[in-house]
Amino acid sequence: MSLGAELRALSLTEAIEQIRAGRFSAVEYGAAYREAAGRDDLNAYLEVVAVREGEQPDPSAPLAGAPIAIKDIFCTEGVATTAGSRILANYRPPYTATAVQRLLDGGASLLGKLNMDEFAMGSSNENSAFGPVLNPWDRDRVPGGSSGGSAAAVAGGLAPAALGTDTGGSIRQPAALCGLVGLKPTYGAISRYGMIAFASSLDQCGPLTRTVADAALLSSLMEGVDRRDSTAVGIPGGIAIPNRTDLKGLRLGVPRELAGEAEGIEAGVRAQFERALALCEELGAAVAETELPNAPHGISAYYVLAPAEASANLARFDGVRYGLRVADHQSDLTEMYERTRAAGLGPEVKRRIMLGTYALSSGYYDAYYGQAQKVRTKISDDFRAAFADFDLLVTPTSPSVAFKLGARAADPLAMYMSDYCTVPISLAGLPALSLPCGLAAPDDGGPELPVGLQIVAPAFAESRLLDAAHAIEAALGFDCAAVRREIGVEGARNG
């Protein structure tokens, strides 16, 4: 193995330990990833960012100078930020998002900006204006979305860790489809300042990593109050680095609506899920069925609320303050708005703006938006009731393993159902983590692909969530990078 490949075989936490021990330098570590990212064969990167002039890695900083890649939805001062959209193709923000700034303050080096579904709307990364991202496990398949570039980059060995955002499952589902750990923290745990808004009452950023410890490390640096985002409240007590090795005394609930009875869960996914449950019992957990009676209405409520919020948030892309403008000298203001948005926004974004505008329009507001907000309350109540009897809930993250490129592109509703198991948690604002729990073949045949186990905790119980995930991770012994080496999955062209 070359030195670069050797360094890239380490988890982020391992690499930081070795940098501190003087085995290699942060400069060598960063160079290995910049070299690999430069050979990106997955369309995961929109831009690989060079080391800043005068950048001096500090081995004593929490991240010791390690390179981290960022979903292109986070504003980065002076570095193009597109949100996967033509309308922002040439946008260079004058400021940096708080979550990114905290990683930089913690000693990270900005490795690059990652491809994504336009404005984070999608579950396959096929909605990017800059082309689809390929899944490193099988290039005919999607990496999931909307943080598809983040997942593909980490799973393909092109970044040690990445930042994503999750509105209805956009960290967890791609993490599951690419064999990674993906954490969506509690709504409000991490500032949304500088994160281009999709649905403000649901959006939350979080890490996609190889290990649970890596996810804990990055989240612990990012969480906290922010005077620039009044909804950012942080996590009381912060996030501890997980060290638990058993699940003794923990009660795990399996909501039948999202696991047992749920329709559309592939046989292979179900088998791996059940194997994971058996393992949890071996680790000392008490596993029992529970219910979330309103969870099956999650997708319906979500596809009213998220588009409604998006239709308001995306009104700012109007050709005035940033981004594309399409007009001629005869255009009046309204025509400029309409032509700019028609040319700059893609079909899925237009569809959701239309859906949201319709749901909020006079005469329909109560029937759609008002009703969906009430369903949201009922779903939150269901979780509260379940957490009276259980410490954590577990479900499959995604009903299927990675699907083929184009398989759901023509059917918006089929695409939306990809988030069936993740959306209810988003509506309730709860923290959840997807943990790789093995491989399974798709129902329609093909190679074995990663399956994700979703673990859900009560609000702000991230440390409990990460501790349990760490214990299961150790017992499962599934390491994406090791499997990748074994089966020769790489995200880069041969150099």
Partner 1 sequence: MIDRDRVLQVARLARLRLDESSGEVEQMARELSGILDHVDAIGGLDLEGVEPTSHVVDLVNVLRVDRVGPSLRREAALAPAPDPAEGSFRVPSPQA
Residues numbered 232-261 forming contacts with partner 1, rule: CB under 8 A: 233
CB closer to partner 1, 203 vs 490: 203
Q: Does 101 bind partner 1 (CB under 8 A)?
A: no
Task: Provide the residue type at 442 as one letter.
Answer: P
Q: Which is nearer to partner 1, 93 or 164 (CB)?
A: 93
Q: Which two tokens stand for residue 281?
A: 């019992």
- Site mask for partner 1 (CB under 8 A), range 342-371, x = bound: x--x----xx-xxx-xx--x-----xx-xx
- Answer for which of 179, 188, 268, 399 binds partner 1 (CB under 8 A) is 188
How many residues bind partner 1 (CB under 8 A)? The answer is: 71
State the DSSP string of 366-421.
Answer: IIIIIHHHHHHHHHHHHHHHHHHH-SEEEEESSSSSPPBTTTTTT-HHHHHGGGTT
User: Known catalytic residue: 170?
Assistant: yes
Report the site for partner 1 in 404-443 (rule: CB under 8 A): 412-413, 416, 427-429
Q: In sequence order, what are the beta bridge partners of 433?
A: 183, 455
Q: Which of 25, 274, 286, 322 binds partner 1 (CB under 8 A)?
A: 322
Does 230 engage in binding with partner 1 (CB under 8 A)? yes
Among residues 5, 59, 231, 287, which is the contact residue for partner 1, using CB under 8 A?
A: 231
Per CB under 8 A, contacts with partner 1 among 189-218 are 201
Q: Which range touches partner 1 (CB under 8 A), out of 14-22, 153-161, 163-171, 301-309?
A: 301-309
E strands, 196-284, in order: 204-209, 225-226, 229-233, 251-255
Neighbours of 246 (CB within 10 A): 15
User: Between 225 and 278, whose beta carbon lies closer to partner 1?
Assistant: 225
Please count the other Cβ atoms lying within 10 Å of the Cβ belonging to residue 279: 18
Task: Give me the sign of the Cα torsion angle 70, 75, 76, 78.
Answer: positive
Could you give the 3-state DSSP secondary structure of residue 466? Answer: helix
Give me the least distance between CB of 297 and partner 1, in Å please: 5
**56 touching partner 1, by CB under 8 A:** no
Least Å distance, CB 343 to partner 1, is 9
Question: Of 20-28, 125-133, 170-178, 322-330, which part binds partner 1 (CB under 8 A)?
Answer: 322-330
**Burial zone of 160 (CB within 10 Å; 0-12 exposed, 13-18 middle, 19+ buried):** buried
Residue choice 195, 199, 208, 299 for contact with partner 1 (CB under 8 A): 299
Alpha carbon dihedral 29, 78, 309, 324, in 10-degree steps, equals -130
C-beta of 132 vs 319, nearer to partner 1:
319
Establish whether 361 is a catalytic residue.
Answer: no
CA distances from 150 to 73, 162, 179, 335 (A): 11, 5, 12, 36
Distance CA 388, CA 403 (A): 36
Which 6-25 residues touch partner 1, going by CB under 8 A?
A: none
**Least Å from the CB of residue 296 to partner 1:** 9
Judged by CB, which is closer to partner 1: 278, or 354? Answer: 354
Judge contact between 161 and 183, C-beta under 8 A: no
Query: Which is nearer to partner 1, 1 or 413 (by Cβ)?
Result: 413
User: Are 90 and 123 spatial neighbours (Cβ–Cβ below 8 Å)?
Assistant: no
Exposure string for 94-108, b = 16+ CB within 10 A, e = fewer: eebbbbbbbbbebbb
Q: Sketch the per residue contact string, 447 through 466, with partner 1: x for CB under 8 A, - otherwise.
A: ------------x-------
Is residue 224 a contact residue for partner 1 (CB under 8 A)? no
Which residues are known catalytic residues? 71, 146, 170
